[in-house]
Structure 1
Amino acid sequence: MVDEHATESQLRRWSRGTHAAGPTIYPTYRRGAGPGVVVIHESPGLTPEVIAFADEVVAEGFTVVLPHLFGSSHAPPRTWEGAWVIPRLCVSREFTMLATGRTAPLAGWLRSLARELHAELGGPGVGAVGMCVTGGFALAMMVDPSVVAPVVAQPAVPLPIGRRRAADLNLSPDDLAAVRRRVAGGCPVLGLRYRDDWVTGTRFETLRRELGDGFLRVELPGLGHSTLTDHRHPEAVARVLAFFRERLKPGR
């Protein structure tokens, strides 16, 4: 367990800011240099493990932006915190935890953040990592051409209650069509999950069917969940970093 003083120190190395898109505004933390990557935290919040993964991305030569969307920041999660956060997300207007065939409204804010980062830093585009309850956001963000390296880590929304929800990608039909066009045009999607993780439902099968060879599927052995953080797997982290180097630093 990482103590709270250590995690506060982790985040002090990051520059705090905000991003506004229309009436929606969230805090952000930024660190690094090089092409941009947006790392979207999972439940229960901006935990030490999420920050540690983001630091690994920074060390590879990228500018990382961490939006703080819900839950605590820079504090170890308590055993009860996940149970407190998920119900709040279920009633939030920015998330679609149960509905199928819909894109979460928060995707618009994240696309705006990606566009701003790309406009500032240039290059081929930016990367995006979504995890667990935010896993599908990387797909929703790639509707915008600024996102050229989308990573879907253990997507868990809509909550896999029933066969239909378990297969749903948290995208509207129009956004799913846009994602298919982007993939057909040469923008692959990297997906990560533990093979026996029931929370991800059958979404990887849906992604394979919809995106074909453009879906780069990484399935790890076992029953873990958080491939890049709490249940960090070295292969998962290595594949993400290699994907970012290939997509955001071509020819280097």
Structure 2
Amino acid sequence: MTPSGPSPLEGWVRGGFSAAGITHDTHRRGTGPCVLVIHEVPGITPEVERFANEVVERGFTVVMPELFGTPGRASSAPYAIATFARACVAREFTVLATGRTSPVVAWLRALARSVHHEVGGAGVGAVGMCFTGGFVLGMMVDESMLAPVVSQPSLPLPLGAERAASLGLSPDDEAAVVQRAVDGCQVLGLRYEGDRFVGTRFATLHERLGDAFVSIDLPQRSATDHSVLTEHRDDASVERVLDFLGERLSG
């Protein structure tokens, strides 16, 4: 990862990283073990930045990949719709297909390995949200992934029962994730109950991972509740994520 100067986010350093035929900017801050905070649609909003800063304050080197959107721009319905439409046609994201891992996951694995090699520590953590939530599962193929957090995972889009239950992984990657769970790697999942974007994949995770999948299932306060850690933030869940990262990476 190559630093390239100031970030539009206060206190963060902008860089770039290329791997697996994919290049994206990154935003980095902090010291300590590596945690990737992977933003949701429409991008690195102020709410995502707030959460990432809290991870930094717990003693971690946080890297936020810039996968789409404009860093620091507030969310709005038109912005989210436009960003979602562009993301859906990007080749690095598998939006509808089952039995496939999104190509960007290979890039995320390489990014995590690079930062981990630089900063050291027992391993790395990652927090994925909504569009990017399931990407963290694919990162578990690397044994350095010790603290995977899956918040309201929404891919593949839950159109039909098969997609609603799918984890968005290739058969080989899914088998590797199951084995990591058997070997003791816990996965923390968060969602609002009744969130249609999550489909039934939490049931799939409980079935595949057993006790290694620790789920936080929150009652919906309104029909629009979705983003547990950001726009529809639940403070207790944020604390649980921060504690999980600390237990797995700093303990």
**Secondary structure at the counterpart of residue 107 of structure 2:** helix
Gaps of 5+ in 2: 1-5
Report Cα offsets for 1:176-201 as digits up to 9, x if no partner: 00001111111110000001211100
Q: 2:29 aligns with which of 31, 40, 48?
A: 31
Say whether 1:117 aligns with 2:115: yes
In the superposition, relative to structure 1, how do residues 9 and 31 fare at CA in structure 2: closer, same or farther (>3 Å)?
closer
CA distance in structure 2 between the partners assigned to 1:32 and 1:153 by the alignment: 22
Check whether the contact 2:130–2:154 (CA below 8 A) recurs between aligned residues.
yes
User: Aligned-pair distance for 1:22?
Assistant: 4.0
Match for residue 68 of structure 2? 70
Say whether 1:242 aligns with 2:240: no
TM-score by length of 1: 0.94
Check whether the contact 2:20–2:106 (CA below 8 A) recurs between aligned residues.
no
Match for residue 227 of structure 1? 228
Report Cα offsets for 1:71-102 as digits up to 9, x if no partner: 12111123201111222222111001111111
- Structure 2 matches for 1:180-195, cutoff 5 A? 180-195=178-193
User: Aligned-pair distance for 1:9?
Assistant: 9.1
Opposite residue 155 of structure 2, the aligned amino acid is V
Opposite residue 241 of structure 1, the aligned amino acid is L
Check whether the contact 1:131–1:153 (CA below 8 A) recurs between aligned residues.
yes
Match for residue 5 of structure 1? none
CA distance in structure 2 between the partners assigned to 1:14 and 1:169 by the alignment: 32
Identity %: 56
- Structure 2 matches for 1:50-199, cutoff 5 A? 50-199=48-197
Check whether the contact 2:7–2:13 (CA below 8 A) recurs between aligned residues.
no
CA distance in structure 1 between the partners assigned to 2:126 and 2:77 by the alignment: 28
User: Aligned-pair distance for 1:12?
Assistant: 2.6
TM-score by length of 2: 0.94
RMSD of aligned C-alpha atoms? 1.3
Flag as ranges the 4+ runs of structure 1 deviating above 2 A.
Answer: none
User: Aligned-pair distance for 1:10?
Assistant: 7.2
User: Aligned-pair distance for 1:23?
Assistant: 2.8
Check whether the contact 1:10–1:48 (CA below 8 A) recurs between aligned residues.
no
